[in-house]
A and B are shown apart, each in its own frame.
Chain A
Amino acid sequence: MSCLHAHRMFFVRRLVPVRCNGNHPLDLDALTGCLASSACLVTQTTSGFIIGMLLFLVAVGLTLIFGVLKVVNFSHGAFYMFGAYFAMTAYQYTGSFALAMLCGAAGTALLGLIFERVFMSRVYGADVLMQLLVCYAFVLIFDDVVRMIWGPEFKSMGMPAAFQVVPLFIAGGVVPPYYLLLIGVALVAAVVLGLGLARTKIGKVIRAAAHNPGMVSALGINTGLIYGGVFALGGMLAGLAGALAAPVRSLTPGMGFSVLIESFIVTVIGGMGSILGALIGAILIGMIRSFGSLGFPLFTEGLMYLFMVIVLVSRPTGLFGKEVA
């Protein structure tokens, strides 16, 4: 019986798709099989959601910084990295998860503020090449600084005892409680940012500063403070994401890079400057990863880049992006 034939026979008899041995670049049977099974569908959708929400936390900072400051923060991954390392160190010394998260967020907020005021503010208005170079220079510097302080080997924070519990069963799918916390934090951040920018006075000032900084400063508002604040906020969100990810991922200098690339893809697809876009984009990427790893196990990454190209070509400002003035 040929491998493919055996495949089909099994599919008829079982809900869980069976794979043959050997590298199949395309495994649409597994994909369709999963879509047909409710347990699989729920689990894969939840994992897509989980992946997406963490990505959203990182990407929303990036998109915020671009929307208000008109600068692409290529060093965003470094804030994620620092958030994780600060959290891990705080946890090592205090044993408190909450304190670790706080340190991660506060530390990166401070870092973001300093970075913006001292360095980024000098390259506003310069062309994108200069901004890219300044940010990239800092990625190099930060990676080596982390290496010098914490060492080159990978480290682990460990899951706090409070979360070392049995995973929950929700609608037939498996969800670890820690990830529920993660999703919760990300959703709260999304709502606070979205409503905050739309409804509060500060939000209006920020949006005004994004639209017409000259006017805003003519009204007597300190735009420098606004810029610093927004950058600090964006950095803090990335740092918080890093801190939240630290219990489940190994820490290593340079860990920011892969997150940067993915959050980049998310913001491009969702639209630079749009929080809703970052949310939708992140969930989309999460789903592509989750279902893509079933159907296209060897080309999942390529799939994401392909999607990015398609969006850029058909709608360069992204799904929800506004035209940059």
Chain B
Amino acid sequence: MTELQAEQAAVVPQIESRSQRSRYVDVLIALAAFAVLAILPMLTGSKALLDFVIRCSAFGLFATSLNLLVGYTGMVSFGHGMFFGLGAYGFGLIMQRTGLPVPVAFVGTLVITTVIAAVIGAICVRLKEIYFAFVTLAFQMLIHSTILSWVSLTGGDQGLRGGIPRPAFFGIDLSNHVHLYIASCALLVIGLLLMRQIAQSPFGYTLRMIRDNANRASFIGIDVWRAKLTIFVLAALFASTGGIIMALFVSGAYPEFAYWTISGEGIFINMLGGVTTFLGPMVGTVLLLILNDTVTRLTDYYGIVLGIVILFFAIGLRKGLMDFVVEWYAQRRGSPGERG
């Protein structure tokens, strides 16, 4: 065999064993993170910290799922927030209108999201670049309009009122603040773990190939449309889960959850944290929420502050925080950049 083939053959088993090992490491880290988060309520009596983590879970899942589209597949979606809203409304409506237990409602919401995402995705993913962004935005605004107009179902601009019933299941009572907190952390950790597996799997590398050069990918036989649709639906599911957590947190669902500002926040978070690392969006979520909470505490002019921060990152740093950290660390180590 040729030298090239020999080289390739040598690399392949290394990649395989590395991926097995990294999967174990991922699971271990996930367990460790969950353990740390779970102990937190015992260490501090602060309800506000728990609230903060719950909101981080909702937005973190949303932003990381957006990164699967933007960072890993190169599909810039301006309308990802529609799934956040659909998750919140779906779950809220099922709990309010039917007497189903929480886990069933949860799965039901994900099923509804899958169907809607599949339909919308099938229409959208054909389009390239900026047109994909426009059409996802258009769909989001269409859904938002529908939520506002379909008053008998959604309550219109007032949202789902009266609270979301949270009957206990398997001894977990979501109206108990600590239980809700632990459930959110669990969903966050499991969600991140699953998304990590998707990102590091061969499918994840397919997505990266599509991002880098979709034509080349299709030349070697990859069904680009199918792959894009799959990741679109998967990302929608995680975004939807974020919406469910938010609905439980505020005990309701409001049209603002499906408004383009949520998509915009998702994009800011990705920019703040960086799209080249997996945990970038998570870092970005923490940053944005801290910024939001601190600034609204201090001044009415949140807009200017947020605008300046965005400019700083977009024009100044031109990359997210995690990207920066990663590069700085790599420079210290002195290792050359790796294409991936």
A: residues with CB less than 8 A from B are: 25, 72, 119, 122-123, 126-130, 132-134, 136-141, 143-145, 147-148, 261, 265, 268, 298-299, 301-302, 305-306, 308-309, 312-313, 316-317, 324
Contact = CB atoms under 8 A, between A and B. Distances in A.
A101 B70 CA distance: 43
A186 B291 CA distance: 43
A129 B267 CA distance: 8
Contact of B314 (A137, A309, A313): A137
Nearest to A129: B76
A133 B138 contact: no
Nearest to A302: B145
B267 A312 contact: no
Contacts, number: 102
A312 B315 contact: no
Among B141, B149, B264, B270: residue with most chain A CB under 10 A: B141
Nearest to B314: A133
A297 B133 CA distance: 29
Contacts of A141: 303-304, 307-308
Contact of A134 (B76, B149, B264, B315): B315
Contact of B304 (A25, A128, A140, A301): A140
Interface in B279-335: 301, 303-304, 306-308, 310-311, 313-315, 318
A313 B138 CA distance: 11
A136 B307 CA distance: 7
B123 A313 contact: yes
28 contacts: A122-B315, A128-B76, A128-B129, A128-B130, A129-B270, A130-B318, A133-B268, A137-B306, A137-B307, A137-B310, A140-B304, A140-B310, A141-B303, A141-B304, A141-B308, A144-B304, A145-B304, A147-B301, A148-B301, A268-B138, A299-B145, A302-B149, A306-B142, A308-B134, A308-B138, A312-B127, A312-B138, A324-B130
B203 interface: no
B76 A127 contact: yes
Given A140-B306, A141-B307, A143-B303, A302 B314 contact: no
A301 B268 CA distance: 27
Contacts of A145: 304
Given A25-B149, A299-B145, A312-B135, A119 B307 contact: no
B149 A298 contact: yes
A129 B271 contact: yes
Contacts of B123: 309, 313
B127 A316 contact: yes
B135 A133 contact: no
A261 B304 CA distance: 21
Main secondary structure on chain B at its contact with chain A? Answer: helix
A305 B270 CA distance: 27
B146 interface: yes
A96 to B, nearest CB: 33
A119 B145 contact: no
Given A302-B142, A302-B145, A312-B134, A144 B311 contact: no
Nearest to A25: B149
B131 interface: yes
A123 B316 CA distance: 11
Given A128-B133, A140-B303, A140-B304, 20 more contacts: A72-B130, A128-B76, A129-B270, A129-B271, A133-B268, A133-B314, A136-B264, A136-B310, A140-B307, A144-B301, A144-B303, A261-B141, A268-B134, A268-B138, A302-B149, A305-B142, A309-B123, A313-B123, A313-B126, A313-B127
Nearest to B309: A137
Contact of A129 (B70, B126, B127, B306): B70
B139 interface: yes
Contact of B145 (A25, A122, A301): A301
Contact of B138 (A72, A144, A309): A309
Contacts of B131: 312, 316-317
A143 B264 CA distance: 17
B313 to A, nearest CB: 8
Nearest to B129: A128
Contacts of A123: 314-315
Contacts of B130: 72, 128, 324
B146 A302 contact: yes
Contacts of B303: 140-141, 143-144
**What are the 3 closest A-B residue pairs judged by CB atoms, nearest first?**
A302-B145, A141-B307, A140-B307
Nearest to B316: A122
Contacts of A140: 303-304, 306-307, 310
A139 B307 CA distance: 8
Contacts of A126: 318
Among A122, A144, A145, A317: residue with most chain B CB under 10 A: A144
A268 B130 CA distance: 11
A111 B129 CA distance: 30
A299 B149 contact: yes
Interface string B102-143: 000000000000000000000100111111011100110110
A145 B171 CA distance: 52
Nearest to A134: B314
Contacts of A313: 123, 126-127, 135
A130 B319 CA distance: 10
